[in-house]
Amino acid sequence: MSNPFFKNTGPYNINFLLNNIGSKNQSINDHEIIDIKDLNSSHNNEITFFHSKKYYDLARNTKASFCITTDNLKSFLPKTCKPITSKNVLLDTAKITQIFYPDSVNDNFDNSADYIDHTEYKDKVKHGKNVLIGKNVKIGSNCLIGHNSIIEKNVSIGDNCSIGSNVIIRNSLIKNNVHILDGCVIGKKGFGFFPNKNSNFKYPQVGIVIIEENAEIGCGSTIDRGSLSNTIIGKNTFLDNQIHIAHNVKIGENCIIAGQVGFAGSSTLGNNVMIGGQAGISGHLKVGNNVQIGGGSGVIKNIPDNSKVMGYPAKDLKNFIRENK
Amino acid sequence: MSNPFFKNTGPYNINFLLNNIGSKNQSINDHEIIDIKDLNSSHNNEITFFHSKKYYDLARNTKASFCITTDNLKSFLPKTCKPITSKNVLLDTAKITQIFYPDSVNDNFDNSADYIDHTEYKDKVKHGKNVLIGKNVKIGSNCLIGHNSIIEKNVSIGDNCSIGSNVIIRNSLIKNNVHILDGCVIGKKGFGFFPNKNSNFKYPQVGIVIIEENAEIGCGSTIDRGSLSNTIIGKNTFLDNQIHIAHNVKIGENCIIAGQVGFAGSSTLGNNVMIGGQAGISGHLKVGNNVQIGGGSGVIKNIPDNSKVMGYPAKDLKNFIRENK
Amino acid sequence: MSNPFFKNTGPYNINFLLNNIGSKNQSINDHEIIDIKDLNSSHNNEITFFHSKKYYDLARNTKASFCITTDNLKSFLPKTCKPITSKNVLLDTAKITQIFYPDSVNDNFDNSADYIDHTEYKDKVKHGKNVLIGKNVKIGSNCLIGHNSIIEKNVSIGDNCSIGSNVIIRNSLIKNNVHILDGCVIGKKGFGFFPNKNSNFKYPQVGIVIIEENAEIGCGSTIDRGSLSNTIIGKNTFLDNQIHIAHNVKIGENCIIAGQVGFAGSSTLGNNVMIGGQAGISGHLKVGNNVQIGGGSGVIKNIPDNSKVMGYPAKDLKNFIRENK
* Residue B152, in any domain of the structure: yes
Specify whether C222 is located in the same domain as C289: yes
* Residue A4, in any domain of the structure: no
Strand partners, A147: none
Q: What string of DSSP letters covers C62-114?
A: ---SEEEE-TTTGGGS-TTSEEEE-SSHHHHHHHHHHHH-GGGS-----TT-E
Q: What is the pLDDT of residue A4?
A: 66
- pLDDT average, residue stretch B31-58: 93
Interface ipTM:
0.90
Final residue of a structural domain among A104, A128, A163:
A104
Q: Which range of residues forms the domain containing residue B44?
A: 12-104
Q: What is the pLDDT of residue C2?
A: 46
Specify whether C244 is located in the same domain as C269: yes
Final residue of a structural domain among A47, A70, A104:
A104
Q: What is the pLDDT of residue C1?
A: 38
Q: Phi then psi for C144, rounded to 5 degrees?
A: -120, 135
* Residue A232, in any domain of the structure: yes
Specify whether B71 is located in the same domain as B118: no
CB contact under 8 A, A260 and B246: no
CB contact under 8 A, C181 and A188: yes
Specify whether B122 is located in the same domain as B88: no
**Chain C contact for B252, CB < 8 A?**
no
* Residue C303, in any domain of the structure: yes
With a cut of 90, say whether residue B58 has pLDDT above it: yes
**Which residues in chain C are closer than 8 Å to B166, comparing Cβ atoms?**
148, 150, 166, 168
* Residue C189, in any domain of the structure: yes
Q: What is the pLDDT of residue B27?
A: 80
Specify whether B66 is located in the same domain as B154: no
Strand partners, C260: none
Longest dimension (CA), chain C: 67
Summarize pLDDT for C60-110 with one digit per residue, the tens: 999 999 999 999 999 999 999 999 999 999 889 989 999 999 888 878 999
Specify whether C209 is located in the same domain as C80: no
Summarize pLDDT for B103-161 with one digit per residue, the tens: 888 789 999 999 999 999 999 999 999 999 999 999 999 999 999 999 999 999 999 99
The secondary structure of chain A, three-state, reads CCCCCCCCCCCEEHHHHHHHCCCCCCCCCCCEECEECCCCCCCCCEEEECCCHHHHHHHHCCCCCEEEECCCCHHHCCCCCEEEECCCHHHHHHHHHHHHCHHHCCCCCCCCCEEHHHCCCCCCCEECCCCEECCCEEECCCCEECCCCEECCCEEECCCCEECCCCEECCEEECCCCEECCCCEEEECCCCEECCCCCCEECCCCCCEEECCCCEECCCCEEECCCCCCEEECCCCEECCCCEECCCCEECCCCEECCCCEECCCCEECCCCEECCCCEECCCCEECCCCEECCCCEECCCECCCCEEECCCCEEHHHHHHHCC
**Chain B contact for C148, CB < 8 A?**
yes
Domain of residue A49, CATH code: 3.40.1390.10
3-class secondary structure, C185: strand
- pLDDT average, residue stretch B5-18: 91
Q: What is the pLDDT of residue B1?
A: 38
**Which residues in chain B are closer than 8 Å to A321, comparing Cβ atoms?**
none
* Residue C7, in any domain of the structure: no
Q: What is the pLDDT of residue C4?
A: 66
Specify whether A183 is located in the same domain as A73: no
Tell me which chains share at least 3 CB pairs under 8 Å with chain B. Answer: A, C
Helices (H) and strands (E) in chain B, counts: 4, 37
Specify whether A88 is located in the same domain as A234: no
With a cut of 60, say whether residue B210 has pLDDT above it: yes
Summarize pLDDT for C129-188 with one digit per residue, the tens: 999 999 999 999 999 999 999 999 999 999 999 999 999 999 999 999 999 999 999 999
Q: Which of B50, B53, B51 is nearest to B64 (CA)?
A: B50
Specify whether C80 is located in the same domain as C130: no
Strand partners, C231: C209
* Residue C290, in any domain of the structure: yes
Specify whether B140 is located in the same domain as B86: no
Residue with the bigger pLDDT between C12 and A55: it is C12
Give yes or no for a contact between A238 and A258, defined as CB atoms under 8 angstroms apart: no
Half-sphere exposure of C151 (CA within 13 A, CB side): 30
CB contact under 8 A, A129 and B115: yes
Tell me which chains share at least 3 CB pairs under 8 Å with chain A. Answer: B, C
**Which residues in chain C are closer than 8 Å to A148, comparing Cβ atoms?**
148, 166
Specify whether B59 is located in the same domain as B120: no
Distances (CA, A) of A75 to A21, A60, B21, B223, C185: 22, 9, 63, 55, 50
Give yes or no for a contact between A222 and C219, defined as CB atoms under 8 angstroms apart: yes
Sheet strands side by side (includes B231-233): B137-139, B155-157, B172-174, B209-211, B231-233, B250-251, B268-269, B286-287
Summarize pLDDT for C176-223 with one digit per residue, the tens: 999 999 999 999 999 988 888 888 888 888 899 999 999 999 999 999
CA–CA separation, A196 and C291 (whole Å): 16
Summarize pLDDT for B185-205 with one digit per residue, the tens: 999 999 988 888 888 888 888
Count structural domains, chain A. Answer: 2
Per-block mean pLDDT, blocks of 10 residues, chain A (325 long): 72 94 82 92 94 92 96 96 93 92 86 96 97 97 98 96 98 97 96 87 89 98 92 98 97 98 97 98 97 98 98 96 91
Strand pairing report for C238-239 and C216-217 = parallel
Q: What is the pLDDT of residue C3?
A: 56
CB contact under 8 A, C258 and A166: no
* Residue B4, in any domain of the structure: no
Q: Which of B100-104, B157-161, B311-315 has the lowest mean pLDDT?
A: B100-104
Specify whether A46 is located in the same domain as A132: no
Final residue of a structural domain among A77, A104, A131:
A104
**Chain A contact for B107, CB < 8 A?**
yes
3-class secondary structure, B261: coil
Q: What is the pLDDT of residue A189?
A: 92
- pLDDT average, residue stretch B205-216: 95
Q: What is the pLDDT of residue B2?
A: 46
